[in-house]
Chains A and B, each alone.
Chain A
Amino acid sequence: MTDTAHPIIQIQNVSKRFGKVTAVDNVTLDINAGEFFVLLGPSGCGKTTLLRMIAGFELPTEGKILIDGQDVTGVPPNKRPVNMVFQSYAVFPHMSVADNVAYGLKIAGVKGGEIKDRVAEALELVKLGGFETRMPDQMSGGQRQRVALARSLVMRPKVLLLDEPLSALDAKLRAQMQFELSDLQEKVGITFVTVTHDQDEALSMACRIGVINKGEVAQLATPSDLYEYPANRFVADFVGSVNIFEGKLTLDDADKAAVDCPGLGKVYLNHGVTGPHGADVWIALRPEKIYLHVPGEGKAVKAAAQDAPDGYNFARGKIKGMSYLGDITLFEIELESGACLRVSRPNLSRHDQDDFTWGDKVSMHWRADSPVVLLG
């Protein structure tokens, strides 16, 4: 992205109510030209409604939507410079692939020769060259999705909207399409706005992610910021796996902070947080940022002491459960406080999974830059 990025879509104080239900609640959001933007949220959070309002299929109850500086709030979908790839793909079953892709161009009044060239080009782009005469019922789900993509891209929209584009594909194909979509977006340079409930999908494809919860924007950030610096408990919990403990802020300086968590122990951070002393806060700690040690050797204590005062960033417990996932092993550890802690451990060598087993006593430490303090 360049510094001159300008907002192609501006959503200004948009609300949408269906009867008494508020689907979208006063959302203000800018989507920049040329970026791959993902709306991420659990089902029923209002993300699809937001997308459909951009496409023009739903009218906002309140607020305005601007596309490329133009107010399109009341403009019908067929007059908007955006195109949509539907969750069900919505490929016209009674038309060949070429006719599907040419549909919009014919309506736009593009001349026959140009239609042919542009259809061929679009199909080439989605790797469906040579499929022109196929009928949709002779194609797989993945191929139909490519037809839907080509049909939208051939219109050269300012923004391409994708509603849960990968949800109907199997796991392997989904992973492949994630890369292909990112690739495609870079190649055509069109702004992509995707809706998904799948965090992996969002993290792998997006330039920026807007996490939506109960109709509101919970956080707007790049994938890594979202994961490493979640703004609240909802985001921390929804994006990735996390351990959350309630605690009290006992120290808050410019370059250090400490939180006393009854469930976890004393947590030390090597950066300040902006919160009142003694405030109720939450500590979020990712499972992969916790190190497991065999107790009694003092390794955990020593490791913790490297960047934190004595007695901080250190815990003891017993392995209550483990699941071997191949690349990593997930441990569920009962702490001395009785609370549960999830820890993941990469299996760096072939026999790493044998290091610990059910019932083993373990000690743990984490680095002072790993915990995240959440105020809400």
Chain B
Amino acid sequence: MAEQDWKTNKRVFAAVSLPTLFWIIVFFLVPMAIVWLYSFGENKGLTEIDISGTLDNYKRATEWLYLTIFGKSFAVAALVTLICLIIGFPVAMAITFASEKWRPWLLLGIMLPFWTNLLIRTYALMMLLGTQGFANKGLGALWEGTSWIKTLVGLQPLPTWEPVQLLFNNFAVVFGLVYVHLPFMVLPLYAALDRLDRSLIEASLDLGAGHFRTIMRIVVPLAAPGIIAGVMITLIPALGAYLTPDLMGGTDSQMIANVIERQFKKANDWPFGAALSFLLIYAMFALIAIQSMRKKVPEVR
């Protein structure tokens, strides 16, 4: 197929691309535009919104209170991304270097969570982390065991086990977000590592480098496109995370998406919610712009 085909067969091209174009315009661009217009409007009554072109919503959205929530959301998303990278990189390497027989199964294992609804996964995780959950039961058993051993050797037993509060705090939010976003990190990392010419690694070993140095000096720099892709694909959804902080977080762990949700629902202040939404979208645009401006790493042949 020549690249110029669409120019010579304009009708065919139009027939093929129109439905998609229609879909994008009607179900994506138009609603976005409406929300964008709302962000310059004011509430008139319960359901009426007057698009007056005011910038008040943006003024309010950039107040200190909301900026701190933005900042916190960024911090949480960045931490989640970092943890995903630290956990995901060895996992991706392990899959890359696993035998042909195992690789598809390991990849399946990574993708399996996608087949389950996010809500169900989150509730499952909450059951695990709850005060009556397996994590606490396991810790409790360890505690009791230690206490028993201490009495056995004639020492004072430990005080009674108090379940640890693992849920409804910032820890739970980060834990839950890492759990949800890890596959997003692993897959692009795997794709980058899989393309890596193995003889580059062997050449590094051959020249006297140990395994750790080979990873830091050869594998990581050459996997940089995959790392950046993984970071973007994890950071952006983590930044807009709504469900996890809502269900697993405490009163102090709301993220920007939760604030936005409240504007559209409880507060019934659509224009302000729209302004907050667009601030978030602009922030993501900025991230993507920074990523695409970075110096292109030479393609590995």
Contact = CB atoms under 8 A, between A and B. Distances in A.
B202 A86 contact: yes
Contact of A155 (B207, B213, B299): B207
A114 to B, nearest CB: 16
Contacts of A83: 206-207
B199 interface: yes
Interface string A71-85: 000001111000110
B203 interface: yes
B228 to A, nearest CB: 14
Given A86-B199, A87-B199, A88-B197, A93 B298 contact: yes
Q: Determine the main DSSP class of B at the interface with A.
A: helix
Interface stretch (A101-109, A196-204, A212-220, A225-233): A101-109
B298 A78 contact: no
B297 A55 contact: no
A93 B210 CA distance: 19
Contacts of A84: 202-203, 206
A107 B207 CA distance: 8
Contact of A107 (B209, B222, B299, B301): B209
Interface in A98-156: 103-104, 107-108, 135-137, 148, 151-152, 155
B210 A78 contact: yes
Residue picked from B207, B208, B221, B301, most chain A C-beta under 10 Å: B207
A94 interface: yes
A90 interface: yes
Contacts of B205: 57, 76-78
A92 interface: yes
Contact of B207 (A76, A103, A135): A103
Contacts of B202: 55, 57, 77, 84, 86, 90
Contacts of B209: 78, 103-104, 107
Interface in A282-321: none
Contacts of B203: 84, 86, 90, 92, 148, 151
B215 interface: no
Contacts of B119: none
B62 interface: no
Nearest to A103: B207
A306 to B, nearest CB: 56
B199 A88 contact: yes
Contacts of B170: none
Contacts of B208: 78-79, 104, 107-108, 155
B206 A94 contact: no
- The 5 lowest CB-CB distance pairs between A and B, nearest first, are A104-B207, A90-B203, A90-B199, A86-B199, A137-B298
Given A92-B222, A94-B222, 10 more contacts: A55-B206, A77-B205, A78-B209, A84-B203, A86-B203, A88-B199, A94-B221, A103-B209, A104-B208, A152-B207
